Amino acid sequence: MPDVTAESFPASPTPATNGTRPLRWDLFCRVIDNYGDIGVSLRLARDLAQRGDAVRLWCDDLTPLAWMQATPIDGLRCLPWADSEQAAPGDVVVETFGCELPARFVAAMAARATAPVWINLEYLSAEDYVERSHGLKSPQFSGPGAGLTKWFFYPGFNERTGGLLREPDLIENAAAHDGAAWLAERGWAPAAGSPTGSGQPGEGRERVLSLFAYPQAPLDDFLEALGPGWLLLLCPGAPQTAVPPLLRRGQRAIALPPLTQNDYDRLLWSCDLNLVRGEDSFVRGQWAGQPMLWQIYFQDDGAHGPKLEAFLDASLAGADSAWAADWRALSQAWNGLSAWTPACAAALRERPAAEAQARAWRAKLSAQPDLVTALRAFAWRETGLSS
């Protein structure tokens, strides 16, 4: 873990890409009830640092970093939230997901001769409001930040949003990855000579899926629809104890230890199907270019339903209509929004259509600017520090 006692910005390991001095970023994150917030914040902080900027990540719970990112990152310091009240703000301040900055830090922002760029990085959604809200500003008329301006930055799935987190070499690394060898090195290799995920023998090995899910996931129905010939790699969480008693004939499961973010990416690249949840793994599942089933974060007011439909509308556009209807039915059932039907099992059997759409969707997203590129361009414009 990086030293968390110093208040100064870390030295930048490389010159900034535009030839000027590196920007200094303060990122704030609160860990709510899962690891999605800190996962997104860490990926953002690491990507900024690796592009030559200096970053401080302030968090109210640093313990997840012990397994998410166990080694130091040049250009990044991970610091306790409380220590920010004695810190001098940098050039850009990002509050992730409306976490609300400490009042003393906001007052220090307002006291700077040149105010920092203040950005609220919002949650990811494919809904229409994202395009309308991205880039809007909110002048602060009262409180410790009076006189400052907060900007709203929305990740998204097209050029009218802030884009998605994507490191410059991500797609190339995924393409070069040897999934079979990586799984074998860890003792998670599929068995040879087993039925395929379609239930038909002959392709020579089990299919492999990764499963990262919330406790309310309908595991019994899913396993029935899945059929034989699958090895389930269970990420830490409730499914590690819930799945084994529910396995059908021809299905196996292995409980995985906590993985670093880099290893989790490699797990996704190695699997034939990825079940992901929340936001961080959701984005990484799309970059894997493999069929992906998303369990959206449940909301009591039902807001997760339209959010899921908006994503399905975007990601299934242009797909074979019969398969897309089946995959929509599967996604709705997996999220408790509709009943399990034969269409759900049909979606899992139609692998060629699922694989083709996953790659087409990734290619479409890859053609758009990534989130860090968009954030840095916005920050340089608003700070006026670029040459």
Which residues are the active-site residues?
Answer: 37, 279
Measure the CA–CA gap between 251 and 229, rounded to whole angstroms.
6
Question: Residues near 328 by Cβ (< 8 Å), separated by ≥ 6?
Answer: 312, 316
170-208 b/e with 16+ CB inside 10 Å = b? Answer: bbeebeebebeebbeebebbbeeebbbbbeeeeeebbbb
Q: How far apart are CA 4 and CA 60, in angstroms?
A: 12
Question: Which among 277, 283, 352 has a CA at the least distance from the CA of 319?
Answer: 352
| Sequence-ordered list of residues with C-beta below 8 angstroms from that of 175, at least 6 positions apart, any chain | none
Q: What is the largest distance, in Å, between two alpha-carbon atoms of the chain?
A: 70
CA distance 351 to 230: 13
Q: How distant, in Å, are the alpha carbons of 203, 334, 362, 371 from that of 236?
A: 30, 19, 26, 28
Structure tokens at 71: 């080694």
Q: Are 285 and 268 in contact (CB under 8 A)?
A: yes
> What is the layout of strands, in order, in the sheet containing 149-153?
76-80, 54-59, 24-29, 92-96, 117-121, 149-153, 137-139
